[in-house]
Chain A
Amino acid sequence: MYEMEKRGKKLRRINERKRNLSFFIAETIVIMWVSFALAAFIWAFIASFSTTRSIFSGNLFSEGLNFKGYRVVFVEYKIMRNFFNSLIYTTLACIGILLISAPGAYVISKYSFIGGTALRSFLAASTGLPSVMILVPVFMTIVRMNAANSMLTLIAVYIAAGVPVSLYYLTGFFATLPSTLQESAMIDGCSPIAAFWRIMFPLAKPGIISVTVFNFIAYWNEYIWALSLMSNPGKRTISIALQGITRAMTNQGNYPGMFAAVVIVLVPTIILFVFLSDYLLEDMTSGAIKG
């Protein structure tokens, strides 16, 4: 007995040492990785205040501070216009997705009805469907209806594209809420619809916030629909506008302008991230898997 204990202690010591060594190696790699990313972001930020000649010389400040890059991007390319476009498209799309997916998810999780299971599996399957499978016919119809380059079209497409994933996630979330609350609200004279919006919807707040944060980022950065549907420069989203600006600046050799555009796009996202990091780093990913 005593021998075994001694052996156990020894093994434990060896393994603790091994663990500490692997921990040290892992930490070194993490620090290198993070420094690399940080260096790239910081350089881009400083370069946006530099000049092309300084950038090529290797000393970003050799010609002092320079704001021309920002002027070009704000004044000539009117990037704020695209910024507000993205803000409007994304906000309205998030609201629309919620208004359709939350009631749908609730009904699917709490009631059984004809076709309910089929609908549920269809929605689950469509979350894995490559979007190119629907892109061409939808685009054709939109062009034929003369609805390309319209804000409402893009928002409608985002809502339709976003509903299955959100609904799938919220279904898992509503399933965990007790149905008794809804019933007692109805006994007190609420209609079923009012009972849902007044009682159940607010109770699902944590799930709803996670879904919305996730959707907001997904549609803020959305690319393929924005690229094919919004060719009018005044209506482009920030991503597509940034691509255009980067291409133009590369051709002109205007590096500070290019990085100014990058910084303008980065800063709001990073600020948002700082406020929402708890949701982004924990909830959605773990929730999505459980759901």
Chain B
Amino acid sequence: MILIFILPVVVICLVFYLWPIARTLMMSFFKISSITSPMKEWQFNGFNNYMQINLSPLFQRSMKNIILIWLVGGVFNFIFSFLFAVYITKLSGKEKRGKFYKTLIYLPNIITPVAIVTIWTQYIFNNRFGLLKNIFDFIGLHQLAAIPWTSQMYSFWAMTIAYTFGSVGYYMIMLSSAMKRIPQELYESAMIEGAGPMRQFGQITLPLIKDVHKMAQIFWALSCVNFFLWSRVFSINDSDPATLSPVNLLYTQVFGNSIGASTIQQANVGAGAAVAVYLTLIAIVVFGMFQLAFGKENYEY
């Protein structure tokens, strides 16, 4: 019975994970001209693929992009998701309203991001009839209203704003479900002892949800490592440098441009594999980094 139940899982691990991982690792050391070239046409390339990527301005740009999303978007994401999580946890007696807010804030997470991107780029960011334009015009900030958000110059920040806006709901739910498990008496006694809301948050809430907070930080960092769809859909050009991410660069390296195109210009599949290896290493470093940063000890309550 054990064998029958576990066999499919083992097969998936070997065929879909272990073998492809080994293969990608190997490919990263070869020059491979097309995704369909058989192994005998591969040329050993040593560390040249890695060198080529390190020197590539596009790769550097894409790395800079995801690091900025991680840092700047991360600050906004965690400020708002913590704020909303606390608000929703403390919203007792008004469950109906709380659920309505929660639903709307979380909604972007279950809708296909292609639709979300369309609403942002074609409506909200439109500087002729868009939502932002109207809001800024309404409060009299006409200069801000005129910003062409989807142009080369602003599109990276526009994408970061839109992406972060959608993510907040996910982290809000994650954090608030952890906050709900904290006993209410702790806050009551803290208030009598004279701790204000900020101190209560810093000394009760944060330490007691440490595990979930760590998880949320890891998820956010990994979502930046895997950043692809937004990068691919946000600009009119599939691989616009302004919104390029490493995964998108890899995809373009390997598959060429535009949906399902089979024509590949100057593709080097090996270099794409090297990008994948880089990203996997980054994911491992990210994981270890947060494990260390948050420490091992936990509080019981």
A interface residues with partner B (beta carbon < 8 Å):
8, 11-12, 14-16, 18-19, 22-23, 26-27, 29-30, 33-34, 36-41, 43-44, 47, 55-56, 58, 100-101, 103-104, 106-108, 111, 113, 119, 122-123, 126, 128-140, 143-144, 157, 159-161, 163-164, 167, 192-193, 196, 217, 220-221, 223-224, 227-228, 230-232, 238-240, 242-244, 246-247, 250, 255, 258-259, 262, 265-266, 269-270, 272-273, 277, 280-282, 285-286, 289
Is B259 in contact with A243, judged by CB distance below 8 angstroms?
yes
Given A136-B269, A258-B118, A286-B178, 15 further pairs, Cβ under 8 A: A11-B193, A19-B196, A26-B87, A29-B83, A37-B108, A128-B222, A129-B283, A130-B222, A132-B276, A160-B16, A161-B16, A228-B260, A242-B114, A273-B103, A285-B177
Q: How large is the interface on B (under 10, 10 to 19, 20 to 34, 35 or more residues)?
A: 35 or more
The A-contacting residues of B in range 88-122, CB under 8 angstroms, are: 90, 99-108, 110-115, 118-120, 122
B interface residues with partner A (beta carbon < 8 Å):
1-2, 4-6, 8-10, 12-13, 15-21, 23-24, 27, 35-36, 80, 83-84, 86-87, 90, 99-108, 110-115, 118-120, 122-124, 128-129, 131, 170, 173-174, 177-178, 191-198, 211-212, 215, 218, 222, 225-226, 228-229, 232-233, 236, 247, 250-251, 254-255, 259-260, 262, 269, 272-273, 275-277, 279-280, 283, 287
State which of B90, B131, B191, B226 has its C-beta within 8 Å of the C-beta of A43.
Answer: B131
CA distance A277 to B215 in the complex (A): 23
Known: A129-B283, A227-B259, A281-B173. A136 touches B273 (CB 8 A): yes
Smallest CB-CB separation from A15: which chain B residue?
Answer: B191
Q: Is the interface of A mostly helix, strand, loop or mixed?
A: helix
> Given the complex, which residues of B lie within 8 Å of A133, measured CB to CB?
20-21, 24, 276-277, 279-280
Is B110 in contact with A130, judged by CB distance below 8 angstroms?
no
- Nearest Cβ in chain A — how far from B37, in angstroms? 9
CA distance A223 to B245 in the complex (A): 15
Could you count the A-B residue pairs with CB atoms below 8 Å apart for me: how many are there? 273
Is B17 in contact with A269, judged by CB distance below 8 angstroms?
no
CA distance A156 to B293 in the complex (A): 38
Is B115 in contact with A119, judged by CB distance below 8 angstroms?
no
CA distance A211 to B143 in the complex (A): 48
